[in-house]
């Protein structure tokens, strides 16, 4: 076997896991990690159920066939979990011991900022770690896109198209609440691409009465219905719908899209992004680096120190937000 030693580190065996909320494209990332590692003479183990499975020793060898027929599937074949025990020093020590017992030199963690924080702490126990951003929220500032965001955006757009039919037939206001925890990207992108009258995000202060005014002005201009995109981080779609109906006199309905946004076959964009990032993650481990994260900047796949990446404050694209305002009126 041609184990590779670049920068003095020999990567003989790596492991891969998915953690936190699942995202479409995670499977494509697992596939890329497994196949590119095998191609480079490195053994790969799959960890079931994220950090919980790692602590419990749920590891099994993977080969090229383990990742056949998954590039187009949503979810994650490795399963995912949230693991409070991993937040403790003792839990992480158990995980590091498991990796040592299995002879694993490096770990690829596919997940969001919580999972990355876990990977960062694990690297301090001597495990080489690299993170691949997999979350529909697009809430990691160091990277332009996270795996799953594009697919989720398209799922939201599909739902909006359907809601438009019923909302225009009834001449109603439709308030659509989308995921994103504390991040308004999904609402903003879907608002622009879906032709929304207004977008409400946690990053920008919002005035309920201004919203009602926008809706009434739209009606005066001849709009037969209004579509409002509301980010989960602001929340309260049903309450807001009630308020809008009372203040405008226009029938208003709230739709909370929920976990539908996390499922489905990944878009071409997410499959390519995941494939490139998976390959890069293996390269980074082979270079002897640890505590790194993979991202995309100006269209180029890059890696960055995990501490630096996690310390970048949340960026919100205010220019894009302004575009949403201009195009809505
Ligand atoms: P995401 O990775 O999508 O942000 P979570 O925030 O739920 O999802 O984190 C996933 C898992 O990562 C947690 O269940 C926990 O095991 C681990 N994790 C999260 N935050 C920390 C932390 N501060 N320290 C150690 N591990 C963490
Ligand atoms: O992290 C992705 C995300 O979809 C968030 O937008 C949402 O708040 C959260 O996961 C919900 O996850 P769950 O219901 O699995 O706890």
Q: Is 31 annotated as a binding residue?
A: yes
**Known catalytic membership, residue 137:** yes
Q: Are the C-beta atoms of residues 185 and 141 closer than 8 Å to each other?
A: no
pTM of the complete model: 0.96
Residue 228: C-alpha distances to residues 125, 138, 246, 262, 329 (Å): 47, 20, 16, 21, 13
Quote the pLDDT of residue 3. Answer: 46
**What is the number of other CB atoms lying within 10 angstroms of the CB of residue 272?**
14
Any atom of ligand 2 within 6 Å of the Cβ of 46: no
Domains of the chain: 13-147+266-311 (3.40.50.450), 150-262 (3.40.50.460)
Q: Is 232 annotated as a binding residue?
A: yes
Per-residue pLDDT of the chain (329 residues; tens, 9 = 90+): 444 444 445 789 999 999 999 999 999 999 999 999 999 999 999 999 999 999 999 999 999 999 999 999 999 999 999 999 999 999 999 999 999 999 999 999 999 999 999 999 999 999 999 999 999 999 999 999 999 999 999 999 999 999 999 999 999 999 999 999 899 999 999 999 999 999 999 999 999 999 999 999 999 999 999 999 999 999 899 999 999 999 999 999 999 999 999 999 999 999 999 999 999 999 999 999 999 999 999 999 999 999 999 999 988 999 999 999 999 97
**Ligand 2 pocket test target in 138, 181, 258 with most atoms within 8 Å of CB:** 181
Crossing angle (nearest 10°) for helices 149-169 and 268-286 = 160
Q: Which residue has the tokens 């697992």?
A: 30
Per DSSP, what are the bridge partners of residue 199? Answer: 229
Residue 62: C-alpha distances to residues 15, 45, 74, 89, 144 (Å): 9, 5, 19, 29, 30
Half-sphere exposure of 255 (CA within 13 A, CB side): 19
Half-sphere exposure of 61 (CA within 13 A, CB side): 9
Quote the pLDDT of residue 228. Answer: 98
Q: How far apart (Å, rounded) are the C-alpha atoms in residues 247 and 269?
A: 42
What does the radius of gyration of the chain's CA atoms come to, in whole angstroms?
Answer: 22
């Amino acid at each position: 076997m041609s184990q590779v030693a670049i920068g003095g580190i020999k990567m003989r065996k790596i492991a891969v896991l998915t953690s936190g909320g699942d995202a479409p494209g995670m499977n494509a990332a697992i596939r890329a990690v497994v196949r590119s590692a095998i191609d480079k003479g490195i053994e790969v183990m799959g960890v079931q159920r994220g950090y919980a499975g790692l602590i419990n020793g749920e590891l099994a060898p993977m080969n090229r066939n383990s990742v056949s027929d998954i590039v187009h599937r949503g979810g994650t074949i490795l399963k995912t979990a949230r693991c409070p025990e991993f937040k403790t020093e003792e839990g992480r020590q158990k995980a590091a011991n498991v990796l040592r017992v299995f002879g694993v030199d490096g770990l690829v963690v596919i997940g969001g900022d919580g999972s990355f924080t876990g990977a960062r702490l694990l690297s301090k126990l001597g495990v080489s770690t690299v993170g691949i951003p997999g979350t529909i929220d697009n809430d990691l500032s160091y990277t332009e896109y996270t795996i799953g965001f594009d697919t989720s955006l398209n799922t939201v757009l599909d739902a909006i198209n359907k809601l438009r039919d019923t909302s225009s037939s009834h001449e109603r206001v439709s308030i659509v609440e989308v995921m994103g925890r504390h991040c308004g990207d999904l609402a903003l992108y879907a608002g622009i691409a879906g032709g929304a009258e207004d977008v409400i995000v946690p990053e920008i202060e919002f005035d309920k009465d201004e919203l009602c005014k926008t809706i009434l002005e739209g009606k005066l201009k001849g709009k037969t219905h209004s579509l409002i995109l509301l980010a989960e981080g602001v929340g309260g779609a049903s309450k807001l719908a009630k308020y809008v109906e009372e203040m405008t006199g226009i029938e208003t309905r709230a739709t909370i899209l929920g976990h539908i946004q996390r499922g489905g076959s990944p878009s071409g964009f997410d499959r390519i992004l995941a494939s490139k990032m998976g390959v890069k993650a293996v390269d980074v481990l082979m270079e002897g680096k640890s505590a790194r994260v993979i991202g995309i900047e100006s269209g180029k796949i890059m890696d960055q120190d995990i501490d630096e990446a996690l310390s970048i404050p949340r960026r919100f694209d205010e220019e894009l937000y302004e575009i949403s305002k201009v195009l809505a009126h």
